[in-house]
Amino acid sequence: MTGRDVICTGLSKVFGGRPPVEALLPVDLTFRAGGTTALVGPSGCGKSTLLRLIAGLEVPTKGSVRIGGETPAELARRGGIGMAFQDASLLPWRSVRSNVALALRLARQRDDAGAVDRLVTLVGLDGFADARPAALSGGMRQRAAIARCLVTAPELVLLDEPFGAVDELTRARLGAELPPLWRERGTTAILVTHSVREAVTLSDRVIVLSRRPGRVVADIDVSGLGEADIGAGMEAVTHALLTLT
């Protein structure tokens, strides 16, 4: 299944309360089908809010999101969106296999044990399919969460700091091994990260958001960078972030 364009038009979010919190100023963004885009910016700048708006988990205050012409809700109902959360969020009473299979059930898709096992193997958890999350390391839990995110063959993958809770070495390994899983399918991916290196190496475009309320301050093309150019890409992103201080 190939990815779809994600088009955000005048998308903004103000959280109610006293006083109201303006999380995201109106943004117009298009995420190209099959591309991987990283969202970076200071803590609380609205990166995760933007991701949740695209996923349909938050209702926009103004503006809209269209994914290949559909609303997030329409796409979500048939399992077209996969999302990996910062803390893996596996259900502790289910095994790895059962956690992955849960996504199929929620997406009203056929319970395909073969597909579940293939993905569990693909993310390097063969031998741990029947293990409960408590028996896994942080990195293994993130792998299971990525498998769950991909099992419905989504057209859009959203990753909210998926490697944020693991150590640097595991983070580097996951960053190298997992992105090909969605890239090979041509899936559109949007990644929230605090790591400039991760943003540059895992994606082909980096969007820098300002301090709250978030607005786009830089849109940097980092596609096709060779090993020698990664430093330059990181420098460009870092420079954009430094201008915020």
Partner 1 sequence: MTARAIVSILGGLGAVVLWQTLFVLNPDGPVIAGPVDVARWLTSNAGLVGRAAGTTLLAALWGFIWGNLAAILMAAFVVVLPRTERLVSFAALAVFCLPLVATGPILRVLFGAGAGPQITLAALAVYYTTYLTLVVGLRAVPQAWSDLVHLYGRGAQTELCAIRARASVPYLLAGLQIAAPAAILGAMVGEFTGAERGLGVLTLRAMRSLDVVATWGIASVAAAVSMLAYLAIGALSRLRGQGPPVLILSAGLQATRAPLWRRIVAVIGVTAALLLVWQVAMDVFGLPRFFAKRPGDVWSYLADPAARRTLLTALSETLIWTVPGYVAGLMLGAGLAAVLTLLPGAGGLVMPLAVTLRSVPIITTAPLLVLALGRGAAGTISIVAIMIFFPAFVACLHGLARTPGQVRDVFASYGAGRLRLLVSAQIPAMLPAFFASARMAVPAALLAVTTTEWLATGRGIGTLMALTASTSDYNMLWSAVVVVALVAVIAYLLVEAAERWVLSRYAAEQLR
Which residues are near partner 1 by CB under 8 A?
A: 18, 52, 55-57, 73, 76-79, 81-83, 85-87, 89, 91, 93, 102-103, 105-108, 152
Least Cβ distance, residue 106 to partner 1 (angstroms): 4
Closest to partner 1 by CB, 108 vs 194, is 108
Closest to partner 1 by CB, 105 vs 194, is 105
Least Cβ distance, residue 49 to partner 1 (angstroms): 13
Least Cβ distance, residue 149 to partner 1 (angstroms): 9
Closest to partner 1 by CB, 98 vs 238, is 98
Q: Please, are residues 118 and 104 in contact by the beta-carbon 8 Å criterion? A: no
Closest to partner 1 by CB, 140 vs 220, is 140
List beta partners, residue 188: 156
DSSP assignment of the chain equals: -----EEEEEEEEEE-SSS-EEEEEEEEEEEPTT-EEEEE-STTSSHHHHHHHHHTSS--SEEEEEETTB-HHHHHHTT-EEEE-TT----TTS-HHHHHHHHHHHTT----HHHHHHHHHHTT-TT-TT--GGGS-HHHHHHHHHHHHHTT--SEEEEESTTTTS-HHHHHHHHHHSHHHHHTTT-EEEEE-S-HHHHHHH-SEEEEE-SSSB-EEEEEE-TT--GGGHHHHHHHHHHHHHTT-
Closest to partner 1 by CB, 18 vs 245, is 18
Least Cβ distance, residue 196 to partner 1 (angstroms): 25
Closest to partner 1 by CB, 78 vs 118, is 78
CA distance 103 to 60: 25
Least Cβ distance, residue 17 to partner 1 (angstroms): 8
Least Cβ distance, residue 130 to partner 1 (angstroms): 16
